[in-house]
Amino acid sequence: MLTPLLEEDPRQIGPYRLQNRIGAGGMGTVYLGFTPDQRAVAVKVAAEDLAEDVEFRSRFEREVHAALRVRGNAVAAVLDADTEALAPWMVTEYVEGISLAQAVRARGRLENHLVRGLAVGLADALVAIHSAGVVHRDLKPSNILLAWDGPKVIDFGVAHLTDSSTLTRTGHVIGTLAWMSPEQMRGEPSGSSADVFAWANCVTYGATGRHPFHAESPDQLALRVQRDSPDLDALPAYLHSVVARSLSKDPARRPTASALLAALVGRTSVEGVTEADAVAGDFLERTWTGTGRAPTESITVLPGAAGPAVGANPADGVTPAGGVTPAGGATPAGGAAPADRPATGWSPRVDRPAPAAGPWPVGVPPPASAFRPAVPPPTPIPPPRRPTA
């Protein structure tokens, strides 16, 4: 949410004129800024009290270097940075939208067509991130913006490069605890599979309105992540198999981001960022932005996935492979279990939540304005005054 600048806020950072606050935290403040040619950007400025901290400056520089390597449609691109400034800063493209955390807090779980787009868009983002040799390590609902054309991943504050051996130390926990993988919680070295675990956490949160290891306290949640099976009872049936495997306690059993995306869009494989962006963009155009619907909405079962294959559940608007629903709406052999499937692990059974009440009818994609906050026009710069005689 955009708020006015405070009296102590800078009005200019480098060549960028600041107009509003986007958000602030212990590490710094993010502003809405404008380039000299009046293009909106997001300007992240480190807190001044941290600027003299050598370790913080090193971390900020790593964030910039990691983010600069990543290019993809589902990731906010870094445009400029100055890590040597008195208060280091970084400029990224401005994404008009609210975070997944804000959306769920305000409206409850997302509707099915948005859940599909969320799963595909985040998988596309992870393909771009991992292809650049980067691990995000802090994928969470507040770092996912729901833009008019799909989800966008932001904030590489705790990312690290997979070709660097100096950034992850055993016993050193990095990231946001609630969304971490089990190995991250234990302070063990973590790779790209930790991001896949976080993907599953975030998709479940968007689809059901709560964490898959929901608990009464952070300590209990952390214990459940280490010990229990996730509560996927309210998850749409077509996502059960792929999400369950992505939440495996064993990192080696989780799919890669490319395999994840291929399964979600019904392909045997997806190779590279260009192909990932193309297939994800086509899917989002058909389901998220409202220009049509995907011709088939089945999901490819990942090789080696435990349990029965996930087929189609007509109640979820999913057709089996080939796009043909069996007569009478029966679930095909090997299809999804019914909605009253008992919960596993610690969690009690929950009924499928009804779609949140609001202006978006079920199954119809929202207009672009649904995720687009009002962006004020740049303040005009008055002409210089002529000296009086």
pLDDT tens string 138-176: 899 998 999 999 999 987 654 444 443 333 333 333 447
SS3 273: helix
pLDDT band for position 46 (cuts 50, 70, 90): confident
Which residues make up the CATH 1.10.510.10 domain(s) of the chain? 99-371
Kindly report the backbone phi and psi dihedral angles of residue 128, in degrees, each rounded to the nearest multiple of 5, phi listed first.
-65, -45
pLDDT band for position 370 (cuts 50, 70, 90): very low
Which residues make up the CATH 3.30.200.20 domain(s) of the chain? 3-93
For the domain made up of 3-93, give the CATH fold.
Phosphorylase Kinase; domain 1 (3.30.200)
Buried b (16+ CB within 10 A) or exposed e, 90-116: bbbebbbbbbbbebbeebbbbbbbbbb
Query: How do residues 204-214 score in pLDDT, each as one tens digit?
Result: 999 999 999 99
Which residue among 138, 155, 195, 233 is the active-site one? 138
Q: Alpha carbon of 55 to those of 19, 28, 60, 67, 170: distances in Å?
A: 30, 15, 9, 18, 18
Q: What is the pLDDT of residue 379?
A: 61
Residue where the block lists tokens 């380039």: 35
Q: Is the pLDDT of residue 25 over 80?
A: no
CA distance 16 to 83: 15
Selected residue with higher pLDDT from 211 and 337? 211
Q: Alpha carbon of 28 to those of 14, 21, 50, 81, 198: distances in Å?
A: 16, 11, 9, 15, 24
CA 72 from centroid of its chain's CA atoms: 13
Q: What angle do CA 354, 230, 104 make, to 5 degrees?
A: 40
Q: Is the pLDDT of residue 106 over 70?
A: yes
Q: Is the pLDDT of residue 368 over 80?
A: no
Domain 99-371, CATH number (from 3.30.930.10, 3.30.1180.10, 1.10.510.10, 1.10.10.410): 1.10.510.10
Of 54-63, 202-211, 266-275, the least confident? 54-63
For the chain, what is the largest distance between any 2 Cα atoms, rounded to a whole number of angstroms? 91
219 catalytic, yes or no? no
Mean pLDDT (the chain) is 76
